[in-house]
Structure 1
Amino acid sequence: MPRRTTKTQSGTHQTMKNVSFESLIASWLLQDGWQVFSPMLDHGHKTDLLISDGPNFHRIQIKSFFSKGKNQEIINCWTPSPIDYVVLFARNGNWGVIAQAFAEKRRPLNHQEHRKFIRCKKNFLREFHLI
């Protein structure tokens, strides 16, 4: 069985984790019938995935965070980019949140418009369809 024998730098390791969340969402959306596009470079545009059902396109930003409890806030780091949805993954949990992009600088993670999901395809897609 192959074993990785090299050390990964911490910054590189965090980037790898972030990309894995993007790949996970892309996989789930592909399995749901969406066309999924990944920008070659999203620097400055804040678009991790572009999805389409044919005539409609939606821009998605994917973030991860360390969960600190019920009063946690999301810091808007995507404005003024015109994204449509934000998917947030708790790095220290098995859950996440889907939100329509918002213009406020901060918003509570447990905002009434946000959809919490358990980290599995079925649960994510159910909540994504309800947003």
Structure 2
Amino acid sequence: MPRRLTQTPEKTHATMKNIAFESQVVTWLLHDGWQVFTPVLDNWHKTDILISDGQKYYRIQVKTITATKGKKNIEIENHWKDIHIDYVIYFAREGEWGYIAPAFSEEKRLLKHDEHKFFELKRKEFLTAFHTIA
């Protein structure tokens, strides 16, 4: 069995974890039949994933947050002001849960807002939440 014998730098490891959440969303959406596109670079457009049903396109930003299951009432900041995105998907780094939120215009909002959909970190749970928000 192969074993990693080198130490991954802390910031690199954090980036790898964030990309893993993006890859998880891509996998779930592909499994659901969406066309999924990922940009080569998303710095200015703030689009991690672009999806299409063949007629419409939706821009998605994936964010990770530091929170435990008991801390869902944290505030989230609007990091995409003046940039058109459709949805933000939040994953709790330390938990097995997340939220799907439509892009909002306020500077800050509670993660547990009425428009946001909670999901457990399972494909069926995610897709159920996604279908009720999209």
Please classify the TM superposition score into its range, dividing by the shorter chain length. over 0.9
CA RMSD for the aligned pairs? 0.9
Partner of 1:73: 75
SS of corresponding position for 1:64: strand
Partner of 1:35: 35
Alignment length (residue pairs): 131
Normalised TM-score (structure 2): 0.95
| Gapped regions of structure 1 (runs ≥ 5) | none
Partner of 1:128: 130
Structure 1 residues 62-107: Cα deviation after superposition (integer angstroms, max 9, x where no partner)? 0000116243111111112100000000011100000000011100
Measure how far apart 1:15 and its partner are.
0.6
101-110 vs 71-80, which moves further: 71-80
Following TM superposition, the consecutive aligned residue runs of length 4 or more in structure 1 with deviations greater than 4 angstroms are none
Partner of 1:45: 45
| Gapped regions of structure 2 (runs ≥ 5) | none
Overall identity of the aligned pairs, in %:
56
Alpha-carbon separation, structure 1, partners of 2:94 and 2:55: 37
Q: Could you tell me which amino acid in structure 2 is paired with residue 18 of structure 1?
A: N
Normalised TM-score (structure 1): 0.97
